[in-house]
């Protein structure tokens, strides 16, 4: 979409020209709406769990902007069949999505479905936000601390499951992470001097860090020893269960990265791993990083300070 004209509507506070997580449109001086859409194919076998993960993933972009989700439209692609078993699968997917939307306080008010040989599911979500309190990925400042709210590795683990290399039980920690909402992390970040936020999804940690660095005109310095990975993720990467998205991420991003340490190959690989419903990467003034970290940890979130923002232009990411 970078080649498309952006228009000049003054009420568009965040558009697609900024590679941000969602669009923001001003309704009044005190109110703006946040809009996003996301859907994907099943990454787990259980349909209810798939629906939960798809909903959490769709909601995440709203939270990455600092918004509150209020309504959603479901997007369904499903094989055309009169088979009762198929109908039950679709019902469970929708119930799983409803479960997470209800947890978020977000009303499902409709949707659209099409017949398709491959199942796809997700939501178009609308949220509200104050025009004066928008998180973007382009406000990081030198001296900020970088906080990551979830562990990495969902891409290689779900790939390993598809190949029969791990069991559903072994995937469970990743499932729990993917269906966990970023709602609380976003709300609490809003109480501190937070300058930039993005959620870690399809472009992986370094891909989304690159967008934040470019948008903010800074360099992100990531301390590799602070990074935490989901159980089994290092083993899955070591065994070569690499999703196609990871390879594409690496090819696109690695020229922007200065690897100052000799990482084990599997750990370096996971820095590019595409995440589903990943955590928030929060750039917060160093004065607020410690109390923010303590509160999030008290809520049971696996958060960590993974680095800092420094002045610089190239390389834009230092590991």
What lies within 8 Å, CB to CB, of 278 at 6+ separation is 60, 150, 152, 154, 199, 200, 201
CATH topology of domain 145-318: Phosphoribosyl-aminoimidazole Synthetase; Chain A, domain 2 (3.90.650)
Neighbours of 204 (CB within 10 A): 27
The predicted structure's pLDDT at residue 4: 67
Give CA–CA dist 297/28, Å, rounded: 36
The predicted structure's pLDDT at residue 133: 93
Nearest to 270 by CA among 245, 240, 246, 254: 246
Nearest to 149 by CA among 188, 192, 96: 188
Q: Tell me if 289 sits within 8 A of 194, measured CB to CB.
A: no
Residue pLDDT, tens place only, 274-314 = 999 999 999 999 999 999 999 999 999 999 999 999 998 78
Give CA–CA dist 151/173, Å, rounded: 10
Nearest to 42 by CA among 76, 67, 16: 76
The predicted structure's pLDDT at residue 6: 66
Helix then strand then coil, % of the chain, to nearest 5 = 40, 25, 35
pTM given for the model: 0.94
Give CA–CA dist 55/248, Å, rounded: 25
Strand 68-78 relative to strand 31-40, pairing: unpaired
Phi, psi of 306 (to 5 degrees): -105, 0
Q: Where are the alpha helices (DSSP H) in 224-305?
A: 233-238, 244-253, 265-270, 286-298
- CB-based burial, 252-266: b 16+ in 10 Å, e otherwise: ebeebbeeeeebeeb
Q: Which residues are registered as beta bridge partners of 148?
A: 281, 304
Give CA–CA dist 122/99, Å, rounded: 13
CATH topology of domain 12-129: 60s Ribosomal Protein L30; Chain: A; (3.30.1330)
The predicted structure's pLDDT at residue 219: 96
- Say yes or no: do domains 12-129 and 145-318 share a fold: no
- pLDDT tens over the chain, length 319 residues: 566 676 688 999 998 877 888 999 999 999 999 999 999 999 999 999 999 999 999 999 999 999 999 999 999 999 987 576 678 999 999 999 999 999 999 999 999 999 999 999 999 999 999 999 999 999 999 999 999 999 999 999 999 999 999 999 999 999 999 999 999 999 999 999 999 999 999 999 999 999 999 999 999 999 999 999 999 999 999 999 999 999 999 999 999 999 998 999 999 999 999 999 999 999 999 999 999 999 999 999 999 999 999 998 788 999 9
What lies within 8 Å, CB to CB, of 129 at 6+ separation is 24, 32, 33, 34, 65, 66, 67, 68
Domain boundaries of the chain, sorted by first residue: 12-129, 145-318
């Amino acid at each position: 979409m970078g080649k498309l004209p952006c228009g000049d509507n003054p009420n568009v506070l965040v558009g697609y020209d900024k590679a941000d997580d969602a669009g923001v449109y001003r309704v009044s001086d005190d109110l703006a709406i946040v809009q996003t859409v996301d859907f994907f194919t099943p990454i787990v076998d259980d349909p209810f769990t798939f629906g939960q993960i798809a909903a959490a993933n769709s909601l995440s972009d709203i939270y990455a902007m600092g918004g509150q989700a209020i309504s959603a439209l479901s997007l369904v692609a499903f094989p055309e069949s009169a088979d009762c078993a198929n109908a039950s699968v679709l019902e469970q997917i929708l119930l799983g999505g409803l479960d997470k939307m209800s947890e978020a306080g977000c009303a499902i008010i409709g949707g659209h479905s099409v017949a398709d040989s491959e199942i796809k599911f997700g939501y178009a979500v609308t949220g509200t936000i104050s025009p004066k309190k928008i998180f973007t990925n382009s406000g990081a400042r030198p001296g900020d601390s970088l906080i990551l709210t979830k562990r990495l590795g969902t891409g290689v683990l779900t790939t390993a499951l598809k190949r029969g290399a791990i069991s559903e039980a072994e995937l469970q920690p990743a499932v729990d992470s993917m269906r966990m909402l970023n709602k609380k992390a976003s709300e609490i970040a809003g109480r501190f001097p937070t300058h930039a936020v993005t959620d870690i999804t399809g472009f992986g940690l370094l891909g989304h860090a690159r967008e934040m660095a470019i948008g903010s005109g800074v360099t992100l310095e990531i301390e590799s020893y602070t990074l935490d990975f989901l159980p089994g993720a290092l083993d899955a990467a070591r065994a070569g269960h690499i999703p196609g998205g990871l390879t594409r991420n690496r090819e696109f991003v690695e020229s922007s990265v200065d690897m100052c340490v000799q990482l084990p190959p599997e750990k370096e690989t996971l820095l590019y791993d595409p995440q589903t419903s990943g955590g928030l990467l929060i750039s917060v003034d160093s004065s607020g990083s410690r109390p923010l970290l303590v509160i999030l940890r008290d809520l049971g979130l696996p958060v960590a300070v993974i680095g800092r923002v420094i002045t610089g232009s190239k390389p834009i990411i230092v590991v």
